[in-house]
Chain A
Amino acid sequence: MGNHATNINDKPKDALKGQKRLRLVVFGFAVCFAVISGRLVELSLVRGFFGDHHAGVTREARLPRPDIVDRNGMLLATDIKVYSLFANPRKIIDVDEAVELLTAVLPDLNVKKLYKQLGNRKRAFVWLKREISPSKRAEVHNQGVPGIGFRKETLRIYPNGRLASHVLGYVDVDSHGIAGMEKFLDDQGALYTASLADPAKHAALPAHLAIDGRVQHAMSDEIAKAIAHFKAKAGAGVVMNIHTGEIISMVSLPDYNPNEPKSAQQSKSINRVTTGVYELGSVIKAVTFAMAFDAGVMTMTSKYDARRPLRIGRSVIHDFHAEKRILTVPEVFLHSSNIGTARMALDVGLEGHQAFLRKAGFFDRLVAELPEAAAPILPKRWGKLTTVTAAFGHGFAVQPLQGVTVASALMNGGKLIPPTFLKRDRESAQGQAVQLVKPATSEKMKYLFRLNAQKGTARKADKLAAGYRIGGKTGTAEKVIKGRYSKDHRLNSFVGAFPMEDPQYTVLVMLDEPQPVEGTYGYATSGWNAVPTAGKVIARIAPLLGVLPDLADLEKPKNKKAGTH
């Protein structure tokens, strides 16, 4: 620069022109540098410190799918990374060599198909094998065949197999939920899923279900044994926490393996607890009792005339075990008298009966989290006969889960709590509860349920689960076959709770078309199959759920035994 300046001074005439040009150039550079530095400062300091750090990283990243665990943290569903083998046929130099090398490591590849795939030069991408193990991947990788590559894929697996498959549901190959909680996490529960996710770390907390894996297995095991023993078509079971509405166990057999979604699409493996609707039969009688108590039309000392069948228009209502006498309220319950129960409903009246059933939620489709929830089937017109049959559970069909929910309300102090498959605490459950019946009514119902287990149709369950103070009501509903009630096709159920002095858990056991077998003396009603099954279930799950057996209750049979010896 110094040299230039002397040069300019030597030629004064051009100096002015040269200096001007120089200034212009200097000015031009100065502006350019100022702009660049300004932009640098803006990008590095201003945006760096105050701006949005993720600006510019708008990669379309899907939220990671949360693991699903049971209430104790047992893993039920998780994502693992697997490798899939693909080829670019255009880049393959020697097809014969490639086929030879690949089949050496992966003998289950079809050679003919492989030749066809690799020889097709028109395509640039072809899957050879999905989901191969890490060790096989390393072997193929080390062969160094050109035109062969791996793509990392996410695979949803259910390490516990069939356990709780109806609750979990399953996903398709692209990890989209197709059924069950998996679908819930994608659709209605998207907000819940988002609350679990941590997009910055591309990780998610696990979704905690209300299910207890151990109880689920015990229930599933006992139902499976009962189906085999009583040659039933299907079976189902539910355990619900009576104070929180949490579903501790939900079993429906036959079930499917969510790792093989194809097995889920058979009609026999539907979820009978929420996808199927059934006439629950005598179990519903308990609802009628509670309604009559609550409406004040009945007390424990009321009496009902069951001497003759009840005549409504042209229809006649009989009792299954006709006592042909005047029955007290506990007797109506123990003998499961249709006539007595029908009279109770008539005393309450058609309007009151419908209003109560509506309040109990029987007229609405119950949707917990599972999307597979069927709407109830209700009579089109509600006449006197409808009330009479509905009183003992005929003429309207609901999800068995609705039956459990209402039964829980009858025994937990009268609170109708919406059921949930997700973990929930007692406070939040009580916040959502609706008072269905008065606490005093609930006390009376608890007495009747317990009495029925001690002296009535649920005796066998009490014996098998001695010490756990169970109470319950049985139901033997005749199934509708070709539009008529069939005497030989039954849907048997037991709904009950334990321990009865302060119920904690509600249990439902259902058997579809159990047959009379050896030891049931030709009978196939609920007391001979669903009830003992429920007893075995309760004896197994009560210790898992922390319910202590009552020793005083246990001493009695022991003493008896000592006496006979």
Chain B
Amino acid sequence: MLKVINSILVVVLLVSAFVVYSLEYSIKQGERDIALAKKKTRQAQETIRLLDAEWSMLTQPERLQRLAMEHLKLQPVKAGQILPRNMLASKLPDRPVHDPSNTKNDPLARMLEDLN
């Protein structure tokens, strides 16, 4: 009788030991995954910060002004070019002044084409 109980206990012991170890391993694997994900998140966040800073550096008003003056034929908006909403209907031209298919007079489109 005792021998049966003892052998059952030994089996239970072995099984529980196996379960505990496998649990621990899976937890460790999980922890590694979490650590890796955190590291990747941190790296991604740092990259985002870096790109944000770079974007901000590239869109400095001073730089945009310089580039616009160099490459575009646009001028600063004058007061006479601004209309209140209710005046809009009466001042609209009959047909569009800008023809989207004609890229000759669109310096931005031309620059994009040159890039391609």
Contacts and interface: CB of A to CB of B under 8 A. Distances in A.
Interface-centre pick from A159, A466, A548, A554 (highest chain B CB count, 10 A): A159
A353 to B, nearest CB: 40
Nearest to A2: B2
Nearest to A465: B79
Contacts of B54: 159
A431 B87 CA distance: 38
Interface stretch (A99-107, A213-221, A475-483): A213-221
B60 A551 contact: no
Contacts of B65: 217, 221
Interface of A: 2, 74-76, 78-81, 157, 159-163, 213-214, 216-218, 220-221, 465-468, 539-540, 542-543, 548-549, 551, 554, 558
6 contacts: A160-B57, A163-B60, A213-B61, A466-B79, A539-B78, A548-B82
B53 A549 contact: no
A532 to B, nearest CB: 16
A78 B53 contact: yes
B56 A80 contact: no
Closest 7 CB pairs of A and B: A217-B61, A467-B79, A549-B79, A159-B56, A75-B56, A159-B57, A159-B53
A540 B77 CA distance: 8
Contacts of B50: 80
B87 to A, nearest CB: 7
Interface-centre pick from A160, A161, A221 (highest chain B CB count, 10 A): A160
Contact of A554 (B49, B61, B79): B79
B77 to A, nearest CB: 5
Contacts of A466: 79
B59 to A, nearest CB: 8
B96 interface: no
Contact of B53 (A157, A468, A558): A157
B46 interface: yes
B78 to A, nearest CB: 8
- Chain A: interface secondary structure? mixed
Contacts of A551: 83-84, 87
Interface residues of B, number: 24
B76 interface: yes
Given A78-B56, A80-B49, 19 more contacts: A75-B55, A78-B49, A79-B49, A80-B46, A81-B46, A81-B49, A160-B57, A160-B60, A161-B60, A213-B61, A216-B61, A217-B65, A220-B62, A542-B79, A543-B77, A548-B84, A549-B80, A551-B83, A554-B79
Contacts of B52: 75, 78
Nearest to B54: A159
Nearest to A220: B62
A81 to B, nearest CB: 5
Given A81-B46, A159-B53, A467 B80 contact: yes
B1 to A, nearest CB: 11
A558 B80 CA distance: 10
B17 to A, nearest CB: 19
B56 A160 contact: yes
Given A75-B56, A80-B49, A551-B84, A468 B62 contact: no
Nearest to A152: B46
B34 to A, nearest CB: 15
A75 B54 CA distance: 10
A465 B52 CA distance: 35
A215 to B, nearest CB: 9
B3 to A, nearest CB: 11
A558 B83 CA distance: 16
Nearest to A549: B79
Interface in B53-107: 53-57, 59-62, 65, 76-80, 82-84, 87
Nearest to A557: B80
Contacts of B78: 539
Interface string B26-53: 0000000000000000000010011011
Contact of B82 (A161, A218, A221, A543): A543
